[in-house]
Each structure stands twice: as structure tokens, then as C-alpha cells.
Amino acid sequence: MARRPCSLLFLLAVLIATTPLAAAQTSCAHRAFTAGSGRVYAACSDLEELNASVHWTHHAGNGTADIAFRLPAAHAAGSWAAWAINPSAVGMIGANALLAYHDPSTGAVSVVTAVIDSYAPLVVADSTTNLTFAVYSRGAEYAGGAYAIHATIQLPGNSTRQNIVWQVGSTSSNGLPDTHQTYGDNVMSSRSWDFSSGNATVVVPKSTEGDNAYEAILRRKNIHGVLNALSWGALFPLGVILARYMRVFPSLDPAWFYLHVACQCSGYVIGAVGWGLGLTLGNKGALYSYHRNIGIALFPLATLQVFALLIRPKKTVKVRFYWNLYHWSVGYTVVILSVLNVFKGIDILQPDQKYKHGYVGVVLVLAMVAFVLEVFTLTVRFKKGGKGSG
Ligand SMILES: *[C@@H]1O[C@H](CO)[C@@H](O)[C@H](O)[C@H]1NC(C)=O
Ligand SMILES: *[C@@H]1O[C@H](CO)[C@@H](O)[C@H](O)[C@H]1NC(C)=O
Ligand SMILES: *[C@@H]1O[C@H](CO)[C@@H](O)[C@H](O)[C@H]1NC(C)=O
Ligand SMILES: *[C@@H]1O[C@H](CO)[C@@H](O)[C@H](O)[C@H]1NC(C)=O
Ligand SMILES: *[C@@H]1O[C@H](CO)[C@@H](O)[C@H](O)[C@H]1NC(C)=O
């Protein structure tokens, strides 16, 4: 009876138990915030664009927040970095920014405030523009190849959810902040951010020059996500469930086999397209490497499964037992890694929460079906008196 290498049910249970439902990202925590500043924040999160991270402490009692952004900028003297809260809109126009750069006259890091009112704003060096919300303190440092810009502010509207924007650019020959790149990460660095939970939603700025690039990349990411959640994240596990439980019933033989093959093959074709699309999204550094490496490992494993089908020995041959062992272990590995990677991808893409909940629902339904069928088929096999199957 114990011929199965492992129990799908058990594995799914482990999977669900180890999958964080809240999008808590803690990988930023290992980095000391800034050298010697002594500032400690209650929470932090890595931001995928521009390798930035946001650190904050929210004081619910008076609606203030201590906020800091860490923004890598390779060339100290020739660069600036900024973060902003935009109380009126998504994107750049209306953003209330704190901008840090190396003052060309002193060489020291200087931080200025500015309300961005155009796509070519004039951020003057001695800017003392008042922001539309109170800024109680502000400062900036440059260390380890990154700017750290911190401030204590009154959250506009006493709301914990704010539109945040961050940006890095180069300075012009006179040392003053110049424009930033208008493609890639530089047009995608914006979120709707909840400073009480760290719950982020990707928001697309409307009608700016850079938006087409932003929307095009976001669209590709979304298609990649949908294709892969459907194939790797749903069809593959469904195909495994079909194979595992339907074949317990002799009357369903060979129907289970064709259903299993149909599921895995369509999953493989859709998954290959989604996988290829994922590769074109490029490597965005450490934050992505986990998702990317699992993804890269998954495709050869799945390919192996499809080709294993072609070389499968006859049921009567003894070597079939080893083929089965191999096929099952690779299959379960693929399913577990796939589901994990879909969750990882959802955390990267940060879509509206309903998509995450939707996928959690799909996994729970599959797990529940597997659980019921596991109990049911165990009972059937038990009644048969251990005649076995497979
Ligand atoms: C807000 O509350 C925090 C903690 O309760 C306190 O440290 C801070 O000084 C207060 N800020 C203002 C502006 O009142
Ligand atoms: C902000 O809202 C919290 C509760 O949501 C309230 O306790 C606090 O007094 C408010 N602060 C201000 C400055 O309005
Ligand atoms: C900025 O705010 C301060 C304090 O509220 C005020 O004294 C100052 O005049 C304001 N500056 C400008 C340029 O409006
Ligand atoms: C995250 O934000 C979205 C959009 O505002 C909201 O619908 C959802 O309930 C939030 N989730 C959590 C866990 O706070
Ligand atoms: C982010 O980090 C990755 C890897 O560490 C690097 O390849 C990439 O150039 C960085 N991007 C920026 C904008 O600094």
C-alpha cells in the first residue's frame, strides 16, 4: 500500500502552511538601513524598481510617519535620488518630493523639498518649497553606493494609504539635479502603499510620456502571470490529481490516462509560452532571483516529464516500477515548485489583492478535492483488502 513515494495531500498541506498569505517582504531587513544613523524603523519592504527599499514607522495616534527610502545610485557626485508622496494623483505631477544630491559647492549631501508641477521640473538647489503636508524633520546620507533619505511627515488626509514615487537621476554639469531616464524602472517606480500594513498595489499613472512603456511592461508581466498561474499553477496540479485518484477505479482506465496527458500537455504548451515571456522580462537582481531560478529549473523538469511519456515502459515490465518512481517524484516536485513560484510571482507583481485571493482559492479547492479523494480512495483500497494499484 505504501508504494507511493509521497502523499500529494501532505505536500499540498505543507505548501499551504508555508505560503505566507500576507505580502510581508522582509528581505530588506538584512541590510542595515544607513551606516551609523541609528535610525530604526518598524517595517520595511524592498521595492523592485531601482533596487530601492522603503522603511517606515507609522504613529497612528497623531497620523505621522517616519519614512526613509534607500536608493542606490552608483555615481555619488553625479547623481540624485528622490522619493515623494503624491496626495493628489498617481505618478509624477503633484508629487511632493524629498530630493537628495551632492551639493556641488560643498560636496555634502543636501536634501531639498519640491512639489513637482511639470515633467521638466526646476528643482533649484536652495529650494525651500513647503510641501502640501507638514514635514517635521528631514535628512539624507550617502553610504555604500546608496542615498538614504529620511523624513518625518504628517500623512496627508491622515490616511495610511498613499501614492508613493521614487526616482534616481544624474546631475548636470553644474552639479544640479537633471532629468531622469524615461524608460524601464524609472517610469515604473510608483505604488499605492499602505503604511500600516505594507500592503502595496501597483498603480498605473495616467497619460504621461513614460506610461506607454510602463503599461507595456506591466501588460507583459500580467500575461506572463496569468498564463503561468493557469498552466504551472493549476493545470499541472489538476493533472496530477486526475492521475492519482481516477486510476484507482478500473472503470476509469484508460480515461484517466488521456485526461492526465491532455491536462499536462496543454499545461506544458501554455506554460512554455508563459515561461518564455517570463524570460524576456529580464533579470532584476536579488529580489527576483528566487522566482527566476525556480522558473528556469521548472521548464527542463516539465520537459523531462513530457518526454518521459514517450519512453515509458510497458506496465508489465519490471523497470516500469522505477519509471513510475521517477515520474512521480519529478511530477510532485514540479507541482510544488510551480505553486510556490506562482505565489512568489504574485508577490513580485503585486496585483490587486483579489487575484492573490483568487489563486489561493484555486489552490485550496484543489487541495480539498485531493483531500476528499485521498480519504475516499484509501477507503476503497482498504475495502479491496490491499490488492494494490498502480
Ligand atoms: C507623533 O507620535 C509619536 C509617537 O507617539 C511621537 O514620537 C511624535 O513626536 C509625534 N509627532 C508629532 C508631530 O506630534
Ligand atoms: C488619525 O486617525 C487616527 C485613527 O485613524 C486618530 O486616532 C488620530 O487622532 C488621527 N490623527 C489626526 C491628526 O487627525
Ligand atoms: C512654509 O511654511 C512655514 C511654516 O508654516 C511658513 O512660515 C513659510 O512662510 C512657508 N513658506 C512658503 C514659501 O510658503
Ligand atoms: C490591500 O489593499 C487592497 C486595496 O486597497 C485592499 O482591498 C485589501 O483589503 C488590502 N489587504 C490587506 C491585507 O490589507
Ligand atoms: C539592481 O541590482 C542588480 C543586481 O544587483 C543590477 O544588475 C542592476 O543594475 C541594479 N539596478 C539599478 C537600477 O541599480
Residue 315 has pLDDT above 50, yes or no: yes
pTM higher than 0.85, yes or no? no
CA angle 294, 366, 304 (to 5 degrees): 40
Residue 34 has pLDDT above 80, yes or no: no
Q: Is 128 helix (H, G, I), strand (E, B) or coil?
A: strand
Q: Residue 349 has what pLDDT?
A: 79
Residue 353 Cα to ligand 4 middle (Å): 6
Q: Residue 13 has what pLDDT?
A: 47
214 contacts: CB under 8 Å, gap ≥ 6: 187, 188, 204, 205
CA angle 244, 248, 240 (to 5 degrees): 10
Q: Residue 373 has what pLDDT?
A: 92
Would you say 150 is a known binding-site residue?
no
Query: When comparing pLDDT for 49 and 301, which is higher?
Result: 301
Cβ of 64 less than 6 Å from ligand 1: yes
Cβ of 63 less than 6 Å from ligand 5: no
Number of helices (H), then strands (E), belonging to the chain: the values are 7, 11
Residue 350 backbone zone (phi > 0: left; psi -120 to 50: alpha; other: beta): left
Buried b (16+ CB within 10 A) or exposed e, 320-348: eeeebeebbeebbbbbbbbbbbbbbbbbb
CA distance 55 to 40: 9
Residue 21 has pLDDT above 70, yes or no: no
Q: Residue 249 has what pLDDT?
A: 83
Q: Which atom of ligand 5 is nearest to the CA of 185?
A: 13
β-partners of residue 66 are 57, 152
Query: When comparing pLDDT for 278 and 207, which is higher?
Result: 278
**Nearest alpha-carbon partner for 200 in 335, 43, 378:** 43
Q: Which residue has the cell 490491499?
A: 386
**Nearest alpha-carbon partner for 109 in 30, 50, 34:** 34
List the beta strands (DSSP E) in 155-223: 161-170, 190-194, 200-202
Residue 354 has pLDDT above 60, yes or no: yes
CA distance 182 to 244: 52
Q: Residue 357 has what pLDDT?
A: 93
The arithmetic mean of pLDDT across residues 383-388, rounded, is 62
Cβ of 136 less than 6 Å from ligand 1: yes
Q: Residue 32 has what pLDDT?
A: 53
Cβ of 134 less than 6 Å from ligand 1: no
- Quickly state the pLDDT bin for 20 (edges 50, 70, 90): very low
Q: Residue 9 has what pLDDT?
A: 45
Q: Residue 314 has what pLDDT?
A: 79
- Which domains are present in the chain? 8-20+212-383 (1.20.120.1770), 31-206 (2.60.40)
Query: When comparing pLDDT for 243 and 16, which is higher?
Result: 243
- Quickly state the pLDDT bin for 198 (edges 50, 70, 90): low
- Quickly state the pLDDT bin for 185 (edges 50, 70, 90): confident
Our mutation pick for probing the ligand 4 site, out of 160, 194, 357, counting the most ligand atoms within 8 A of Cβ, is: 194
Would you say 291 is a known binding-site residue?
yes
Cβ of 219 less than 6 Å from ligand 1: no
CA distance 249 to 213: 53
| pLDDT (tens digit per residue) in 90-127 | 777 788 999 999 888 888 898 999 888 776 666 665 56
Give phi and psi for 311, each to the nearest 5: -105, 20
The arithmetic mean of pLDDT across residues 226-233, rounded, is 95
